[in-house]
Structure 1
Amino acid sequence: MSHMPASLFDHRLVRGLLARCGEARAMRTGVLIAALAMVLGGCVPDEPTAPPQTDIHLSEYVVSGDSIALRIPLNRTERTGYDNQPQFTRDGTALLYTSERGSSTDIYRMSLSNHTTRPITALPTSVYSPTPRTDSTFVVVQVEDDGAQRLWEFPLSRTAPVTPDEGALLLPEVEPVGYFAWADAEQLALFVLGAPHILQWGNVLTGRADTVRVDIGRSLESRPQDASVSAVQRHENAPDSVLVAYGPDEVSVYAPTLPGEGDHTWTREGHLLMTSGTALYQWHPNAGSWREVYDWDPATPSRLAASPTENRLAVVVAPPEE
């Protein structure tokens, strides 16, 4: 362990730890406590905390009325390491995801026709949360040289990995960003790291970002049926809830959440799906309840994404602890 006086502690260490962890609830509790302990104790770890072992499973689903059935998922990134944060391209032909295969994370693209994978970024610092903005561009959270975490846009339609000089900074005044989701090509919701974490509504043309809610979960999801974004509102003395935001001043409660992180997504038909424990669940508005769709027991699913063009689902799954 290396040591330095607490008075010289750089607040960016906390951000770096939080970015490497990538888990909002862990950021609020264990990681944040550990980081603060380092401040008070004046010690800094020699190496950042390694991301967890995760894989991405792909599956097709079948809709019958207001119910969904999942075909047996297949592990498409089966290797030792961190493969996480999947997002489908707008045409549904490929999957973008975050992968750590060295000292930092980069973005990879998987073709869904043959499941071949190639890197699409080659950047000196870590990038996270790859999300298409248009048919030809995608946006990431980039951890910059000084520790800032901001949104950067890069070209998507090319074969060689993008380089730093091809990026365009979005919302330069908004940071540290943890996660985000697009309402349309101009407006987006942002998870901004804080104590507690903040939900902001940004506009990349005006550069403005307004606070919508405080104390939110990490899962922000675009809704395919309209220009809105969903988020999880944390409550101290009541069950957490799924919010739907149409703008900074128009927010409604949609459903209660399940125990866990509140990782969720929306299918193109408008079904709300959420992972909890070892299973995937679907919300039935008419019944006012969650129903189990598929169970990975003893493995644990977390983040998930639904294809905008096909009945296809990507789910992040962690193997059972030994």
Structure 2
Amino acid sequence: MLAHLLILIVSGYLALVSPGLAQNPNEDTPLPAFPETEIFLFEYDMAKSDDPLSDGQNVTKRPGYDNQPFFTNDSRTFLYSRDDGTQTDIWEYDIASDTHTQLTATEQSEFSPTPSPDNQTISMVFERNFSIWHFNRGIAHAPAWLLETARIEEPVGYFARNYETGDILFWSRYGFSLSLTHSDKPGHHFITGHAVPAAPHVIPGTNHFSFVHRQTNEQVWIKALDPETKAVRPLTQIVGSNANYTWTLDGSILQIEGTALFRWHEDSDGWMKISDLSDHGLASANRIAVSPDGKRMAVVGIPAE
């Protein structure tokens, strides 16, 4: 039987756990229940400090799990992980045509789709061995093990890949640690333990990464990593308990706590609440992505009844 990876979204949406096993027709064990989440798409005006969101739409609007949106470099589409009741596959949403296209159809689940700048290669966390795999669009049915040459034995929960430099920062789902590796070089470099289960990011306009770290004093911080020097620099404490966040084109960080949307910039005086998603039809939300052109925002949440 095949182990199914489930990203469990509850009150902080922070736990990455391994749910039940694949269903045998002769067994009474229920199929894994993926959390019900939708992806909402908004117009985003980063110049506004008072509710920069407008024209919100529930673009998935179906029963089931729709999560982990990642915009392509041209800002015309985003990739996301979507379940069919038993497993997840990678799908793509085209904004202009309002259409959804399935990109993978393997026998196991895929998560965290990360497209290359030309959107021809897509990296992902693959349930086959909880490692990072990738595929070319023309042969999506045959993904290849990206970290095979690096001999990474730790199971990967989340990762960020810099396609330009080849650097990859990944979070170990059992070790709660972060390590730096490279797509073309063997080995990996341990960065830190006590890492919170949240996706790291490539910081826009740099080759640096950001990640979330729980310090020994229990404060939870977003920090920056220079992959060249391995130096780590604290940026800001997170708001509340939700460790999911994203970067915007102007170097700001966005984070959601409950239905409140907050923005932080290094030159600003801490976090500022800029919107309440309950005013836009959401009962709760936790994950967020902003398009590379800075004009749209995807929010994962639950619609208000």
For the aligned pair, the TM-score class normalised by the smaller chain equals 0.7 to 0.9
RMSD over aligned Cα atoms: 2.6
Q: Alpha-carbon deviations, 1:123-151, whole Å to 9, x = none?
A: 1111111001341111011111xxx2011
Quote the sequence identity (%).
Answer: 29
Q: How does 1:17-166 map to 2 (within 5 A)?
A: 19-22=5-8, 25-27=14-16, 46-64=29-47, 69-135=52-118, 136-144=120-128, 148-156=129-137, 158=138, 162-164=140-142
Q: Residues of 2 paired with 1:56 and 1:134: CA distance?
A: 22
Among 257, 261, 264, the alignment partner of 2:238 is: 257
The alpha carbon displacement at 1:314 in A equals 0.9
The alpha carbon displacement at 1:55 in A equals 0.6
Say whether 1:203 aligns with 2:187: no
Say whether 1:168 aligns with 2:144: yes
Q: Residues of 1 paired with 2:276 and 2:210: CA distance?
A: 24
Q: Is the 8 A contact 1:20 1:48 kept in 2?
A: no
Q: Is the 8 A contact 1:171 1:208 kept in 2?
A: no
TM-score when normalising by structure 2: 0.85
Q: Which amino acid aligns with 1:213?
A: T
The alpha carbon displacement at 1:310 in A equals 4.1
Q: Which amino acid aligns with 1:62?
A: D
Q: Is the 8 A contact 2:178 2:195 kept in 1?
A: yes
SS at match of 1:25: coil
Q: Residues of 2 paired with 1:45 and 1:230: CA distance?
A: 43
Q: Residues of 1 paired with 2:31 and 2:220: CA distance?
A: 31
Q: Is the 8 A contact 2:285 2:299 kept in 1?
A: yes
Q: Alpha-carbon deviations, 1:192-229, whole Å to 9, x = none?
A: 1124x111111011032211111212131221110111
TM-score when normalising by structure 1: 0.81
Say whether 1:189 aligns with 2:189: no
Q: Which amino acid aligns with 2:195?
A: I
Moved more, 304-313 or 115-124: 304-313
Q: Is the 8 A contact 1:55 1:84 kept in 2?
A: yes
User: What residue is the counterpart of 2:258 in the other structure?
Assistant: 277
Among 194, 202, 206, the alignment partner of 1:226 is: 206
Q: Is the 8 A contact 2:68 2:287 kept in 1?
A: yes
Q: Residues of 2 paired with 1:194 and 1:48: CA distance?
A: 23
The alpha carbon displacement at 1:48 in A equals 5.0
Q: Is the 8 A contact 2:130 2:155 kept in 1?
A: yes
Structure 2: stretches of 5+ with no match in the other structure: 21-26
The alpha carbon displacement at 1:116 in A equals 0.5
